Structure 1
Amino acid sequence: MSSPHAGARIERAIEAAGLSQRALEKATGISQSTLSRIVSGARPAKMPEIAAIARAVGATVAELAGSGSVAARVQCAARATNGSDMQRMRETLLHYLELDAYLDDQAVPATV
Protein backbone atom coordinates (compact mmCIF):
# COMPACT_ATOMS: atom_id res chain seq x y z
CA MET A 1 0.00 0.00 0.00
CA SER A 2 2.88 2.39 0.62
CA SER A 3 4.72 4.06 -2.24
CA PRO A 4 8.25 3.03 -3.24
CA HIS A 5 9.66 6.14 -1.54
CA ALA A 6 7.86 5.66 1.79
CA GLY A 7 11.04 4.28 3.38
CA ALA A 8 12.93 7.50 2.70
CA ARG A 9 10.04 9.62 4.02
CA ILE A 10 9.84 7.45 7.13
CA GLU A 11 13.60 7.71 7.66
CA ARG A 12 13.45 11.53 7.43
CA ALA A 13 10.52 11.62 9.87
CA ILE A 14 12.38 9.40 12.35
CA GLU A 15 15.43 11.67 12.15
CA ALA A 16 13.31 14.82 12.45
CA ALA A 17 11.69 13.40 15.59
CA GLY A 18 15.15 12.69 17.02
CA LEU A 19 14.41 8.99 17.47
CA SER A 20 16.52 5.93 16.87
CA GLN A 21 15.04 2.81 15.34
CA ARG A 22 15.31 1.16 18.78
CA ALA A 23 13.34 4.01 20.37
CA LEU A 24 10.77 3.78 17.59
CA GLU A 25 10.54 0.03 18.18
CA LYS A 26 9.59 0.71 21.80
CA ALA A 27 7.07 3.38 20.80
CA THR A 28 5.38 1.35 18.05
CA GLY A 29 5.95 -2.31 18.80
CA ILE A 30 7.44 -2.75 15.32
CA SER A 31 10.73 -4.63 15.56
CA GLN A 32 13.92 -2.75 14.78
CA SER A 33 14.77 -5.24 12.05
CA THR A 34 11.40 -4.62 10.37
CA LEU A 35 11.89 -0.86 10.69
CA SER A 36 15.33 -1.22 9.11
CA ARG A 37 13.90 -3.16 6.15
CA ILE A 38 11.12 -0.58 5.70
CA VAL A 39 13.56 2.35 5.79
CA SER A 40 15.95 0.65 3.35
CA GLY A 41 13.11 -0.13 0.95
CA ALA A 42 13.66 -3.89 1.24
CA ARG A 43 10.11 -4.29 2.58
CA PRO A 44 7.05 -2.14 1.98
CA ALA A 45 5.41 -0.71 5.06
CA LYS A 46 1.90 -1.89 5.83
CA MET A 47 -0.68 0.80 6.52
CA PRO A 48 -1.03 -0.08 10.24
CA GLU A 49 2.75 0.23 10.56
CA ILE A 50 2.72 3.59 8.81
CA ALA A 51 -0.05 4.76 11.13
CA ALA A 52 1.90 3.66 14.23
CA ILE A 53 5.10 5.30 12.99
CA ALA A 54 3.25 8.50 12.09
CA ARG A 55 1.77 8.69 15.58
CA ALA A 56 5.19 8.11 17.19
CA VAL A 57 7.07 10.69 15.10
CA GLY A 58 4.34 13.34 14.96
CA ALA A 59 3.65 13.05 11.24
CA THR A 60 0.51 12.24 9.30
CA VAL A 61 -0.12 8.95 7.53
CA ALA A 62 -0.36 10.80 4.22
CA GLU A 63 3.05 12.42 4.74
CA LEU A 64 4.72 9.07 5.33
CA ALA A 65 2.75 7.02 2.80
CA GLY A 66 3.09 9.62 0.07
CA SER A 67 -0.59 9.46 -0.71
CA GLY A 68 -0.82 13.20 -1.00
CA SER A 69 -1.55 15.55 1.79
CA VAL A 70 -5.12 16.36 2.65
CA ALA A 71 -3.79 19.77 3.68
CA ALA A 72 -2.82 20.41 0.06
CA ARG A 73 -6.33 19.55 -1.10
CA VAL A 74 -8.48 21.20 1.54
CA GLN A 75 -9.47 24.79 2.03
CA CYS A 76 -11.08 25.84 5.24
CA ALA A 77 -12.26 28.98 6.93
CA ALA A 78 -13.02 29.34 10.59
CA ARG A 79 -13.83 32.01 13.06
CA ALA A 80 -13.19 31.74 16.74
CA THR A 81 -14.98 33.95 19.23
CA ASN A 82 -13.34 32.51 22.31
CA GLY A 83 -9.71 33.39 21.59
CA SER A 84 -8.83 29.93 20.29
CA ASP A 85 -5.57 29.47 18.42
CA MET A 86 -6.57 29.29 14.75
CA GLN A 87 -3.46 27.36 13.69
CA ARG A 88 -4.13 24.70 16.31
CA MET A 89 -7.75 24.46 15.20
CA ARG A 90 -6.61 23.99 11.59
CA GLU A 91 -4.09 21.30 12.58
CA THR A 92 -6.75 19.43 14.56
CA LEU A 93 -9.18 19.64 11.64
CA LEU A 94 -6.51 18.33 9.25
CA HIS A 95 -5.72 15.39 11.53
CA TYR A 96 -9.39 14.39 11.48
CA LEU A 97 -9.55 14.80 7.70
CA GLU A 98 -6.39 12.68 7.31
CA LEU A 99 -7.95 9.98 9.48
CA ASP A 100 -11.15 10.13 7.44
CA ALA A 101 -9.16 9.78 4.19
CA TYR A 102 -7.21 6.85 5.64
CA LEU A 103 -10.41 5.08 6.72
CA ASP A 104 -11.87 5.64 3.26
CA ASP A 105 -8.72 4.19 1.69
CA GLN A 106 -9.04 1.13 3.93
CA ALA A 107 -12.76 0.76 3.10
CA VAL A 108 -13.71 1.14 6.76
CA PRO A 109 -17.39 2.14 6.87
CA ALA A 110 -18.42 5.32 8.60
CA THR A 111 -20.68 5.00 11.59
CA VAL A 112 -23.73 7.12 12.04
Structure 2
Amino acid sequence: MSVVDVQIGKRLVAAREAVGLTQRDLEQYSGISQSTIHRIETGNRAVSILELSALADSCGVLIADLQGTNTLAEQVLCAGRTNDAGSQALVDYMIYAFGLAQRLDELGVAEAA
Protein backbone atom coordinates (compact mmCIF):
# COMPACT_ATOMS: atom_id res chain seq x y z
CA MET A 1 0.00 0.00 0.00
CA SER A 2 1.31 3.42 -0.87
CA VAL A 3 1.32 6.48 1.34
CA VAL A 4 -0.89 8.21 -1.21
CA ASP A 5 -3.70 5.70 -0.56
CA VAL A 6 -3.49 6.30 3.18
CA GLN A 7 -3.61 10.07 2.67
CA ILE A 8 -6.59 9.80 0.32
CA GLY A 9 -8.36 7.74 2.97
CA LYS A 10 -7.65 10.35 5.64
CA ARG A 11 -8.88 13.15 3.37
CA LEU A 12 -12.02 11.16 2.59
CA VAL A 13 -12.76 10.74 6.30
CA ALA A 14 -12.31 14.50 6.83
CA ALA A 15 -14.52 15.38 3.84
CA ARG A 16 -17.22 12.90 4.89
CA GLU A 17 -17.25 14.09 8.48
CA ALA A 18 -17.21 17.76 7.43
CA VAL A 19 -20.63 17.28 5.82
CA GLY A 20 -21.93 15.07 8.62
CA LEU A 21 -22.10 11.79 6.71
CA THR A 22 -21.59 8.32 8.10
CA GLN A 23 -20.04 5.61 5.97
CA ARG A 24 -23.56 4.22 5.48
CA ASP A 25 -24.79 7.63 4.29
CA LEU A 26 -21.87 7.83 1.89
CA GLU A 27 -22.75 4.36 0.62
CA GLN A 28 -26.24 5.60 -0.27
CA TYR A 29 -25.01 8.72 -2.06
CA SER A 30 -22.04 7.21 -3.87
CA GLY A 31 -23.24 3.69 -4.64
CA ILE A 32 -20.03 2.29 -3.13
CA SER A 33 -20.46 -0.28 -0.38
CA GLN A 34 -19.80 0.73 3.22
CA SER A 35 -17.18 -2.01 3.57
CA THR A 36 -15.32 -0.69 0.53
CA ILE A 37 -15.51 2.86 1.88
CA HIS A 38 -14.10 1.60 5.19
CA ARG A 39 -11.19 -0.13 3.45
CA ILE A 40 -10.45 2.99 1.39
CA GLU A 41 -10.59 5.23 4.45
CA THR A 42 -8.25 3.00 6.43
CA GLY A 43 -5.80 2.74 3.55
CA ASN A 44 -6.37 -0.98 3.05
CA ARG A 45 -7.67 -0.61 -0.50
CA ALA A 46 -6.69 1.51 -3.45
CA VAL A 47 -9.44 3.64 -4.97
CA SER A 48 -10.15 3.94 -8.69
CA ILE A 49 -10.67 7.33 -10.30
CA LEU A 50 -14.35 6.48 -10.87
CA GLU A 51 -14.82 5.62 -7.21
CA LEU A 52 -12.90 8.72 -6.20
CA SER A 53 -15.18 10.82 -8.40
CA ALA A 54 -18.33 9.33 -6.85
CA LEU A 55 -16.98 9.78 -3.33
CA ALA A 56 -15.84 13.36 -3.96
CA ASP A 57 -19.17 14.32 -5.53
CA SER A 58 -21.06 12.75 -2.62
CA CYS A 59 -19.02 14.76 -0.10
CA GLY A 60 -19.24 17.98 -2.11
CA VAL A 61 -15.51 18.22 -2.75
CA LEU A 62 -13.28 17.96 -5.79
CA ILE A 63 -11.31 14.86 -6.73
CA ALA A 64 -8.21 17.04 -6.34
CA ASP A 65 -9.22 17.72 -2.72
CA LEU A 66 -9.13 14.00 -1.97
CA GLN A 67 -5.90 13.53 -3.91
CA GLY A 68 -4.30 16.45 -2.13
CA THR A 69 -3.54 18.22 -5.40
CA ASN A 70 -6.04 21.09 -5.26
CA THR A 71 -4.20 24.35 -5.85
CA LEU A 72 -7.29 26.54 -6.08
CA ALA A 73 -6.67 27.95 -2.62
CA GLU A 74 -3.29 29.18 -3.84
CA GLN A 75 -4.89 30.73 -6.93
CA VAL A 76 -7.65 32.63 -5.14
CA LEU A 77 -6.68 36.17 -4.23
CA CYS A 78 -9.13 38.01 -2.00
CA ALA A 79 -9.03 41.70 -1.23
CA GLY A 80 -10.76 41.31 2.12
CA ARG A 81 -10.80 44.39 4.30
CA THR A 82 -10.96 42.46 7.57
CA ASN A 83 -9.75 39.25 9.12
CA ASP A 84 -13.17 38.23 10.38
CA ALA A 85 -15.10 35.06 9.60
CA GLY A 86 -16.83 36.78 6.69
CA SER A 87 -13.55 37.16 4.85
CA GLN A 88 -12.75 33.48 5.27
CA ALA A 89 -16.28 32.58 4.16
CA LEU A 90 -15.73 34.59 0.96
CA VAL A 91 -12.46 32.80 0.28
CA ASP A 92 -14.12 29.42 0.93
CA TYR A 93 -16.99 30.29 -1.42
CA MET A 94 -14.65 31.43 -4.18
CA ILE A 95 -12.63 28.22 -3.90
CA TYR A 96 -15.87 26.23 -4.07
CA ALA A 97 -17.16 28.20 -7.08
CA PHE A 98 -13.90 27.92 -9.02
CA GLY A 99 -13.66 24.24 -8.13
CA LEU A 100 -17.18 23.62 -9.35
CA ALA A 101 -16.40 25.41 -12.62
CA GLN A 102 -13.26 23.29 -12.99
CA ARG A 103 -15.26 20.10 -12.34
CA LEU A 104 -17.89 21.06 -14.91
CA ASP A 105 -15.11 21.70 -17.44
CA GLU A 106 -13.66 18.25 -16.67
CA LEU A 107 -17.08 16.70 -17.28
CA GLY A 108 -17.48 18.60 -20.57
CA VAL A 109 -20.51 20.62 -19.47
CA ALA A 110 -20.86 23.62 -21.75
CA GLU A 111 -21.05 27.13 -20.31
CA ALA A 112 -24.46 28.79 -20.32
CA ALA A 113 -24.88 31.51 -22.90
Pair in the same fold by TM > 0.5 = yes
CA–CA distance in 2 between the matches of 1:13 and 1:90? 15
Residue correspondence of structure 1 range 64-83 to structure 2 within 5 A? 64-66=66-68, 68-72=69-73, 74=75
Deviation at 1:91, TM superposition (A): 3.4
Structure 2 counterpart of 1:3, one-letter code: V
Structure 1 counterpart of 2:43: 41
Whether the 8 Å CA contact 1:70–1:97 is kept in 2: the answer is no
2-side partners of 1:21 and 1:71: how far apart? 27
Displacement over 3 Å in runs of 4+: 72-76, 87-91
TM score, norm. by length of structure 1: 0.67
Q: What is the distance in 1 between the residues matched to 2:12 and 2:32?
A: 13
Alpha carbons of structure 1 residues 93 and 69: separation in structure 2 relative to 1, 3 Å: same
Separation (CA, whole Å) in 2 of partners of 1:92 and 1:54: 15
Identical-residue share of aligned pairs (%): 35
Q: Which residue of 1 aligns with 2:84?
A: none
Which amino acid counterpart does residue 28 of structure 2 have in structure 1?
K
The residue number in structure 1 matching 2:86 is none
Between Structure 1 and Structure 2, which shows a larger proportion of helix residues? 2
1:94 paired residue among 86, 94, 99: 99
Kept in 2: contact 1:70–1:98 (CA 8 A): no
Report deviation, 1:50. 1.2
1:48 CA displacement = 1.1
Letter paired with 1:57: C
> Residues 75 and 19 from structure 1, CA distance in 2 versus in 1: closer, same or farther, beyond 3 angstroms?
closer
CA distance in 2: counterparts of 1:16 and 1:90, whole angstroms: 16
Deviation at 1:75, TM superposition (A): 5.5
